[in-house]
Amino acid sequence: MIALLNDCLLFQLASGESVPCSADMISVEIIGGRERLLDPDVLRHAAASVFHYFKCELLRESVTVGEFSLALEKVLHQLGFTLPDEPAAPAPRPVIESDLRVIACQSAFSLELFFFPALRLELRSQLRLAPKVLRFRGLRGCVKQIIGARRWSGRCEHLQEQIVGFLRECLNADRNQTQCSLVVE
């Protein structure tokens, strides 16, 4: 493992990867196009203070982009700056369905190696639509397809539990934006 520089935090992106950044590197990225509304020095110092808070006071080595941006907005608000709101989120859809067999087909030659990352991407893309219920169907067929089994076995049961557990963990990790239920059938 490569050691992280003292002046860097690992920023966890929505894609699941982590990128080391310093406060100077991320301030413009977090604010996006709204930085022209603020004095660049104020923005730089506010980002440095939020960075210091996570790095030195909370002793964290990694932070999500969402956590950092919320903390930065809170600091800027306390300093008397109001930023225009971002476009509103899409209206929540009641139920969104995904077929696990299709995801398994897309990663057919790699078996489980690319199935779980593809599943995470599918879950995140569906969560952006703000559903009330997120339904994944075709679990048995997906498991048998990945394993290459004709009949249900203990190995199938184990992989089924892994997939359901993985979906639960991913939903709990990404649930901070929306509240939705997960159905796996």
Assess whether pLDDT exceeds 80 at residue 4: no
Report helix, strand and coil shares of the chain as percent, to nearest 5: 55, 15, 30
Supply 81's token pair.
């700056």
Supply 40's token pair.
């660049």
SS3 41: helix
CB 75 within 8 A of CB 46: yes
Residues 6+ apart with CB under 8 A from 152: 140, 144
Pairing of strands 181-184, 131-137: parallel
Assess whether pLDDT exceeds 50 at residue 134: yes
Q: Per the confidence metrics, is the pTM higher than 0.95?
A: no
Cα radius of gyration rounded to whole Å, the chain: 20
Beta strands in 25-173 (DSSP E): 62-64, 93-99, 131-137
Nearest to 127 by CA among 166, 67, 177: 177
* pLDDT, tens only, 59-75: 888 888 778 778 888 88
Higher pLDDT, 129 or 138: 138
Q: Where are the domains of the chain?
A: 9-78, 93-184
- Half-sphere exposure of residue 86, counting CA atoms within 13 Å on the CB side? 9
Assess whether pLDDT exceeds 50 at residue 154: yes
pLDDT value, residue 153 = 93
Can you tell me the distance from the alpha carbon of 9 to that of 20, in angstroms, rounded to the nearest whole number? 5
* pLDDT, tens only, 71-126: 888 887 887 776 655 555 555 568 889 999 988 887 665 567 788 888 998 988 88
Residues 6+ apart with CB under 8 A from 44: 23, 24, 27
pLDDT value, residue 80 = 78
